[in-house]
Amino acid sequence: MAAICIMVLGTTSGAGKSWLTTAMCRYFQRQGLKVAPFKAQNMSNNARVVASRAGGFAAGPPQGETWPPRGAGSHTQWATVGAEIGSAQYFQALAARAIPDVRMNPLLLKPEHDTHSQVVLMGQVDEALSRMAWRGRSASVWPVIAQALDDLRAENDVVVIEGAGSPAEINLSSSDIVNMRVALHGNAACLLVTDIDRGGAFAHLYGTWALLPQNERALIRGFVLNKFRGDAALLAPAPQMLQDLTGIPTVATLPMWWQHGLPEEDGVFDMTPTLGTGVSSLPPGGAIAARGGPAPLTQICIVAYPRISNLDEYQPLKNIPGVHLKWVRSPSEINALKPTDWIILPGSKNTSGDLAWLRSQGLDAAVARHAGQGGAVLGVCGGLQMLGEALIDPHGVDGNAPGLGLLPLVTVFEADKTVRHTRSRFSPSMNGAWSALAGVEVAGYEIHHGQTQPHAAMVAAGNVAQEVLSEGLAWQSPQGNVLGLYLHGLFEDAAALQALFGTRFSKPVPTLDTVFDGLADFIEQHFEPGFLQGLLQPR
């Protein structure tokens, strides 16, 4: 029997579809059901790597294996061919305690310019589709999308589907492949969620419903008001009036909840309160100091260059007590740091372009000054490439550029992209600022064209970076304070978080699994009693 489909639609982007889908994945999993997430098409430069087979759907794990894979030896790659899916569906799969799978997000659009996106179909870049006009693409990709959903339904009890934007974009309805066409294909029980904090929520709900044809309206089982501040009793009689107009009940009023801890799918989280300090971007001293309490133990500044990518992997740092996480764009913010504070250079969709931006802002000198004073600097993927001496691009992939010169390394961009999930163990000889990671086994993923090696002339002169993860994954400066690694997801790994921060606290450091349970508890508390279970009953 095919799985029940439950779909979360929104009146706008940012209404709360993604986190509500994640919460429902964990909620139904806790009912003893086998659950998978699905989003037909996602648009994001935040991607995760899952296992795949060339020309086919994602492979299951080896017998007795877990996700992330754990293997003998210092370095294990699970898949011979890596596949990319949107990070939201990756986290939803983890919430469902399912193995992340390319079928959960068959089409991923990765914006490269304001009017152009790289198209990733079933986890692999498709250049022909990338060149195709937007409206002409849907006929080519819909059979793949429908098959992916059908296969997930055949293997699970429940598939929780996330829509995109609004289902009532009437200019796009004829080529829709992500909202109501998916809902109709799966005969999904649909929720329509709106952001009441924006204002006009009841008009958004009614207008969306009114623009849908009758057969699509019939799939909507309930309205959800999200991000409400205040006394829900003050909403009356509007929910009843809306039900009188549409026949659809308002089944949940969800309070504003800044601190749920789920990574943001897109955009930096500058002004959202954190679990650790209350807010993610404040003057030095952080929110704890602003409330008259002690200053944070560590400030972590992430450089927010224009083409930043995979930024959501830093969300777990927001959840750690005593950590003040902020995004920086000016030298003055870096110059105010103590040597015990961190600077992170994150991934980039265009490393050479973001290096040019760093220099134009004077941030290159500020980062070098912090490193020269013994301050901790971490570069991840594109950030690692920036830390080296030079970027060399013989294939026109990214661009040539001089690096920051903080690690004696050189990066050469290859035509083929490395995309794989990886588990490796840090060298036991790590020292300095990153010594807590010595000997720690961590899992993560790689997405990069660049291949990095020690600078031969500098090595000959005695300037050698220590390789601290095998097979060219990470290097540490001789002084120990500068670390560069290709492995994304370090702060999503529970072992790494515990090693870096666990000695400060009597309780385990918060993890993503803690966040998923909190999301499920939240919706269980605020939805009408019995409604969520009722979605499992066909009508």
Which token pair is 327? 């995004």
Residue 268: what pLDDT? Answer: 54
Residue 112: what pLDDT? Answer: 67
C-alpha 154: how far from its chain's center?
Answer: 27
Q: How far apart are CA 119 and CA 130, in angstroms?
A: 5
Share of the chain above pLDDT 90, in %: 65
Which token pair is 311? 């930024």
Per-residue b/e over 100-124, b at no fewer than 16 CB within 10 Å?
bbbbbbbbbbbeeeeeebbbbbbbb
Number of CB atoms found within 10 A of residue 416's CB: 9
Q: In this predicted model, what pLDDT tens digit does every residue of 439-486 receive, in sequence order?
A: 999 988 899 999 999 999 998 998 999 999 988 899 999 999 999 999
Structural domains of the chain, with CATH: 4-256 (3.40.50.300), 286-511 (3.40.50.880)
Q: In this predicted model, what pLDDT tens digit does every residue of 290-339 receive, in sequence order?
A: 333 445 678 999 999 998 888 888 988 888 888 899 999 999 999 999 98
For 292-408, where are the E strands, in sequence order? 298-303, 308-309, 323-328, 342-345, 347-348, 376-380, 390-392, 401-402
Residue range 23-29: average pLDDT?
Answer: 98
Per-residue pLDDT band for 266 (boundaries 50, 70, 90) equals low
Residue range 260-289: average pLDDT?
Answer: 44
Q: In this predicted model, what pLDDT tens digit does every residue of 397-427 receive, in sequence order?
A: 999 999 999 999 999 999 988 888 888 999 9
Inform me whether the pLDDT recorded for 37 exceeds 70: yes
Number of CB atoms found within 10 A of residue 74's CB: 14
Catalytic residues: 381, 488
DSSP of 470-526: TTTTEEE-TTSSEEEES-BTGGG-HHHHHHHHGGG-SSPPP-HHHHHHHHHHHHHHH
Q: How far apart are CA 97 and CA 29, in angstroms?
A: 7
